[in-house]
């Protein structure tokens, strides 16, 4: 089999790069053994504001301008609903926070996204005496549905191999690589935290962080917005809500924990007063980096081996942006943004 690319990993990063290949008429195959779960358990929010400090997300406008059309293209091609437009409300803890919000809304990078209207709390199940600030141009991508639909489409076209990738089996030439019966011009590794076992890129400074989410059933809550207040609450419909998320750097298994459940429930019970039931708990390992920038670039010794990783907690926004950067770097020799280039750690 002759293709332009071998892609290893089909989470948000891998899908984002596949979309660049499809848009540009390139051929590819994908290897994914479903061992990484960070994308499948992601909340999927896209939000251009850091709500802890009321600051702009890095390159938020550029990211959204690339990401939203990409998800729309996937929706049309695979006939699935992925992008749900939904406002994000930040609960104010004090009058001082309201003032900080207004001050931030005057900043050039934030004025587009921060509403200057304080929303009063009319929901007696939520503890929010100082009301909410609304973030504009936000939404949620149903990442789990996207990955399932994408895999099914690739399988139908015989483009997905659901087996572990054997790094030692990759034969690297000057202008191409061979793997099993596949000859390709390039290999892109988009494995998330699985990069720790990758013999080509395992020394990159990935700092994996386990995250856990709860799914609750709360019939009395009745909110149609994402609520951020210590935890975030994301409505899924049918009175179901995502509650998240935790951060854990020592236990890097995919097992859920009572510790994380207690942490999330403790924060949730301070926020809402209605009854609810926990119906599910999930865990995944986020591929985070100490400087909070992705890991993108070319192997120092092999000119046809590349990495696309380190999307962290904002993968649905960052993934399409860095995938386009990597594609243009490979195909058009355009330089990578220095903030994401893995050479910054040399």
In a domain, 70, yes or no: no
Per-residue pLDDT at 37: 67
In a domain, 161, yes or no: yes
Q: Domain range holding 170?
A: 2-44+144-205+290-345
Q: For 264-273, write each residue's pLDDT tens digit.
A: 999 999 999 9
Task: Assess whether 199 and 111 both reside in one domain.
Answer: no
Per-residue pLDDT at 39: 67
**Residue range 98-111: average pLDDT?**
96
Task: Assess whether 261 and 300 both reside in one domain.
Answer: no
> Can you tell me which residue has the tokens 């070319």?
298
Task: Assess whether 118 and 218 both reside in one domain.
Answer: yes
Per-residue pLDDT at 49: 97
- Residue 110 maps to which CATH number? 3.30.9.10
Q: Is the pLDDT of residue 244 over 70?
A: yes
Task: Assess whether 124 and 256 both reside in one domain.
Answer: yes
- Residue 302 maps to which CATH number? 3.50.50.60
Model confidence band, residue 346 (pLDDT cutoffs 50, 70, 90): confident
In a domain, 61, yes or no: no
Task: Assess whether 156 and 280 both reside in one domain.
Answer: no
Are 32 and 211 within 8 A, CB to CB? Answer: no
Q: Classify 319 as helix, strand or coil.
A: helix
Task: Assess whether 151 and 268 both reside in one domain.
Answer: no
User: Given 3-state DSSP classes, what are the helix, strand and coil percentages for the chain, each rounded to the nearest 5?
Assistant: 30, 30, 40
Q: For 160-189, write each residue's pLDDT tens digit.
A: 999 999 999 999 999 999 999 999 999 999
Q: Is the pLDDT of residue 318 over 90?
A: yes
In a domain, 59, yes or no: no
In a domain, 52, yes or no: no
In a domain, 101, yes or no: yes
Per-residue pLDDT at 40: 61
Q: Is the pLDDT of residue 36 over 80?
A: no
Task: Assess whether 313 and 341 both reside in one domain.
Answer: yes
Per-residue pLDDT at 43: 84
Among 37-41, 267-271, 309-313, which stretch is predicted with the lowest mean pLDDT?
37-41
Task: Assess whether 279 and 296 both reside in one domain.
Answer: no
CA–CA distance, 316 with 220 (Å, rounded to integer): 30
Task: Assess whether 128 and 33 both reside in one domain.
Answer: no
Domain count, the chain: 2
Task: Assess whether 246 and 340 both reside in one domain.
Answer: no
Read out DSSP for 197-237?
G-TTTTTS-B--EEEEEEEEE-TTT---SEEEESEEEEEEE
Rounded (5°) CA angle 331-332-337: 100
Task: Assess whether 96 and 220 both reside in one domain.
Answer: yes
Task: Assess whether 125 and 213 both reside in one domain.
Answer: yes
Mean of the per-residue pLDDT values of the chain? 95
HSE at residue 252, side-chain half, CA atoms within 13 A, is: 16
Burial of 115 (0-12, 13-18, 19+ CB in 10 A): middle
Per-residue pLDDT at 174: 92
In a domain, 64, yes or no: no
In a domain, 253, yes or no: yes
């Amino acid at each position: 089999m002759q293709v332009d690319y071998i892609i290893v990993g089909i989470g948000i990063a891998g899908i984002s790069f596949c979309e660049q290949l499809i848009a540009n008429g390139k051929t590819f195959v994908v290897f994914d053994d479903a061992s990484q779960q960070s994308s499948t358990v992601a909340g999927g929010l896209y939000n251009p504001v850091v709500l802890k400090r009321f600051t702009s997300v890095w390159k938020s406008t550029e990211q959204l301008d690339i990401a939203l059309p990409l998800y729309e293209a996937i929706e049309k091609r695979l006939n699935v609903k992925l992008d749900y437009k939904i406002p994000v409300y930040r609960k104010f803890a004090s009058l001082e926070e309201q003032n900080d919000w207004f001050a931030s809304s005057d900043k050039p990078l934030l004025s587009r996204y921060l509403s200057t209207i304080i929303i009063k709390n009319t929901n007696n199940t939520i503890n929010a005496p100082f009301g909410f600030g609304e973030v504009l141009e936000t939404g949620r991508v149903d990442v789990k549905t996207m990955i399932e639909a994408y895999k099914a489409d690739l399988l139908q076209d015989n483009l997905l191999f659901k087996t572990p990738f054997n790094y030692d089996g990759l034969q690297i030439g000057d202008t191409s690589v061979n793997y099993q019966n596949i000859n390709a011009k390039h290999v892109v590794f988009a494995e998330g935290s699985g990069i720790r076992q990758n013999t080509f890129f395992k020394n990159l400074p990935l700092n994996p962080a386990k995250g856990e989410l709860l799914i609750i059933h709360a019939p009395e809550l009745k909110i149609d917005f994402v609520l951020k207040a210590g935890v975030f609450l994301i409505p899924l419909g049918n009175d179901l809500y995502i509650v998240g998320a935790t951060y854990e750097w020592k236990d890097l298994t995919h097992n859920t924990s009572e510790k994380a459940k207690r942490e999330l429930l403790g924060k949730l019970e301070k926020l809402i007063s209605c009854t609810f039931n926990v119906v599910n708990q999930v865990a995944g390992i986020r591929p985070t980096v100490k400087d909070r920038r992705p890991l993108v670039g070319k192997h120092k010794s092999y000119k046809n081996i590349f990495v696309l990783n380190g999307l962290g907690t904002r993968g649905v926004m960052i993934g399409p942006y860095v995938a386009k950067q990597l594609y243009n770097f490979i195909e058009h020799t355009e330089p990578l943004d220095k903030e994401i280039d893995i050479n910054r750690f040399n």
